[in-house]
Amino acid sequence: MTTTLADTWGLHESQFWLRGKQPEQRVEFAAELGMWNVYGHPEIEAILRDPGTFSSDTTRLVPKDLIPDGQDMTTGSILQLDPPLHNKMRKLVSRAFTPKVVADLEPRIAAITRELLDAIPPGDRLELVAGLAYPLPVIVIAELLGVPAADRHLFKGWVDKMFDSSDQVSLVKKDEQQDAAIRKSLAGQKALTDYLGGHVDERRKQPRDDLLTKLVEAELDGERLSRSEVVDFANVLLLAGHITTTMLLGNAVLCLDAHPEWDRRVRADRSLVPPAIEESLRYLTPFAAVARTTVREAEVGGVTVPADQMLLLWVAAANRDERVFRDPGTFDPLRAENPHLAFGRGIHFCIGAPLARLEGRVALDILFDRYPVLRAIPGEPPKFQPNPNMTGVRELPLTTA
């Protein structure tokens, strides 16, 4: 049996798909969590394409007594809306967050990448996450929204609070540890929401040339987004702009490190950078799972799931489904087809995918130009996100010699 990248670097034990294994069952009820796990690609795709049966409003199923201090769990974000409200919201935000807005960022992304790399002390070491993969997407999204990029140490503190837990939140277990994790996460969320609320209020009084103003002013059939809708959307953008692209960049470098023949080929032929990014998204999927709830009894892969059940859709496992991907454990940027689910599917398909792809391409290109060698260091393993719903580096020491 070959050693997988997950074994080499000690990735989360529960992520069996990273260790060359297919699931024993593609749909199973996890009694200890009170939720269903779905691991198969066609099953997940069918669920994501049927929002009428599988709702994104997951908060409705979280028992009230599970939330400490009677706080409100709902974020009200676009991610949790169902049709018809979702269609309206998505159309409105798409008016502000357009393909042109993203494409126009390319020179600025390149400039920020160069500035960040210039600031790294000379020598033959580079910690990729602190040096580039974390600050780049945060600065880009902060500038785009129009909030000061210099406040990024504040965002980092709040976002870390939100994602620091290494436990899976359970719908049945209630203990001190879970309480503390939820409390910490809600405190981070509240701080971020208050911060963004202040900026939205300013834009309402004094418009500027930024995305927050565009969101405040976006109109559909005479309707605008409410204050809390703008805040919630900005919240999602800032969050998504943080950890996901950081993981994408780090994971892509880690995949190429583990596959030196591809590292050579991609460096020699830069047209291979985009397919290498797509294959990294399949191979090490940053958001390993997305959640849905059944609004009625439903059939999933031949299994009957009752109404009002929470489902965790393990897109990361689906991206290794041998019924869809030939040799799923092989890293192959030139595989004939790559219908990975890393950005989701259907009506909630990631709005930020073009931005994430652009940042990945620009940053990798510049990294390859600057550093003829980028290798992980055997005695200094990368550190990964502690949460099992995520797969991504949070620290990646590299040698450039």
Q: Which stretch binds ligand HEM (CB under 6 A): 171-179, 328-336, 350-358, 369-377?
A: 350-358
Measured over all CA atoms, what is the biggest interatomic distance in the chain, rounded to whole angstroms? 63
> According to CB under 6 A, which residues from 185 to 214 bind ligand HEM?
none
280 is an interface residue for ligand HEM by CB under 6 A = no
Query: Hey, which residues between 120 and 149 contact ligand HEM (CB under 6 A)?
Result: 141
* Contact with ligand HEM (CB under 6 A) among 356, 362, 390, 396: 356
Q: Which of 352, 382, 390, 397 binds ligand HEM (CB under 6 A)?
A: 352
The reply on whether position 355 binds ligand HEM by CB under 6 A is yes
Interface stretch with ligand HEM, choices 2-10, 61-69, 198-206, 285-293 (CB under 6 A) = 285-293
CA torsion sign, 163 to 165 to 167 to 169? negative
Whole-angstrom Cα distance, residue 256 to residue 128? Answer: 14
In contact, 279 and 336? CB cutoff 8 Å: no
**79-108 mask for ligand HEM (x: CB under 6 A)?**
x----------x------------------
**Whose Cβ is closer to ligand HEM: residue 120's or residue 236's?**
236
Distances (CA, A) of 253 to 133, 294, 375, 385: 10, 38, 9, 16
Reported in sequence order, the residue ranges of 151-228 that DSSP labels E, i.e. its strands, are 219-220, 223-224
Whether the bond into 84 is cis, omega within 30 of 0 = yes
Contact 373, 399 (CB under 8 A): yes
User: Is residue 358 involved in binding ligand HEM (CB under 6 A)?
Assistant: no
CA distance 95 to 208: 16
Q: What angle do CA 163, 165, 167 make, to 5 degrees?
A: 130
Minimal distance in Å, beta carbon 393 to ligand HEM?
13
Is residue 78 part of the contact set for ligand HEM (CB under 6 A)? yes
Residue 67 near ligand HEM by CB under 6 A = no
Does 245 bind ligand HEM (CB under 6 A)? Our answer is: yes
Per DSSP bridges, beta strands 375-376 and 310-313 are: unpaired
Question: Residue numbers of the site for ligand HEM (CB under 6 A)?
Answer: 56, 78-79, 90, 141, 236-237, 240-241, 244-245, 248, 286-287, 290, 342-344, 348, 350-352, 355-356
